[in-house]
Amino acid sequence: MAAPHLVVFTGSGISAESGIKTFRASDGLWDNHPVEDVATPSAWRRDPQRVLDFYNQRREQVRKARPNAAHKALAALEQAGFQVSVITQNIDDLHERAGSRHVLHLHGEILNARSSVDNRMRYPLPKGGIRIGDLCDMGSQLRPDVVWFGESVPLFPEACDIVSEADFLLVVGTSLAVMPAASLLNHVAMETPCVVVDPDADALSPPGVLAINTTAGKGVPALANQWQRQGSLMLP
């Protein structure tokens, strides 16, 4: 029999305990950096250097960060034989560095560069980060491989297919404020159990979802340990 399929949908909260800021907290990333100045196509047209500087700085934070207990617990479940698919809104690589092998980055990956005219043309990051004048094979400026506000989310249909096949959906550390990502929860089968782990889980969980009000670093290892002991995915 195939191993039960755990689908984990993560947001910036899972990386908070690794030292990477979430977006919408009062001291969050978007508080210091207005979205419209650094994460929209019009910001890129207006001031590409500012956008590159912002992502070059963030990339350094990501490189210094280390996977935390939540990232590691998900990777350990996979090691233990569970089928684990991670769909993350995060542009960091902490799931991969923890050892997760099936990670879909809905909003792209900060450690890649891409063409600014064709989002399928991806490139390894130039040494020292992306600079004005670094070009793709079609002669357009390279940009960070991240999905900005107002852009389409090319991997969304694939993510919907994965969620629709879940035996269990675990949502960790996302305010569910950004579309279409948040609407992924609508694609889970009716009978599939769903849990949200977030210090604010009560407030943000849709009806029918079990809310666990705690941090990722506490809540995810607790669930993962329980599942490993039981050998199956069950509601706590």
Residues that bind ligand APR (CB under 6 A): 11-13, 16-17, 22-25, 28, 89, 107, 173-175, 177-178, 198-200, 204, 215-216
CA distances from 153 to 24, 90, 175, 211 (A): 20, 13, 18, 27
DSSP letter at 185 equals: G
3-state secondary structure of 66: coil
Nearest approach, Cβ of 68 to ligand APR (angstroms)?
9
3 or 35: CB nearest ligand APR: 35
Residue 203, C-beta contacts closer than 8 angstroms, at least 6 positions apart: none
Sign of CA dihedral 126, 129, 130, 133: negative
Nearest approach, Cβ of 79 to ligand APR (angstroms)?
22
139 or 204: CB nearest ligand APR: 204
Nearest approach, Cβ of 2 to ligand APR (angstroms)?
30
Q: Give every strand in the sheet of 142-146, ordered side by side.
A: 122-124, 108-115, 142-146
Cα(18)–Cα(20) distance, rounded to whole angstroms?
6
> Which candidate in 71, 95, 105, 107 is catalytic?
107
State yes or no: 115 annotated in a binding site: no
Nearest approach, Cβ of 98 to ligand APR (angstroms)?
15
Scanning the structure block, which residue is given the tokens 């039960």?
A: 4
State yes or no: 61 annotated in a binding site: no
Taking a C-beta distance cutoff of 8 angstroms, is the pair 216, 17 a contact? Answer: yes
Cα(69)–Cα(60) distance, rounded to whole angstroms?
21
Nearest approach, Cβ of 134 to ligand APR (angstroms)?
23
State yes or no: 89 annotated in a binding site: yes
Taking a C-beta distance cutoff of 8 angstroms, is the pair 194, 210 a contact? Answer: yes
6 or 14: CB nearest ligand APR: 14
State yes or no: 92 annotated in a binding site: yes
Active site residue 107: yes
State yes or no: 173 annotated in a binding site: yes
22 or 85: CB nearest ligand APR: 22
Peptide bond into 236 cis (omega under 30): no
Name the residue whose CB lies closest to ligand APR. 13
132 or 177: CB nearest ligand APR: 177
Q: Which residues are designated catalytic?
A: 107
Residue numbering of the annotated binding site for NAD(+) = 89-92, 173-175, 216
Residue numbers in the known binding site for substrate are 55, 58
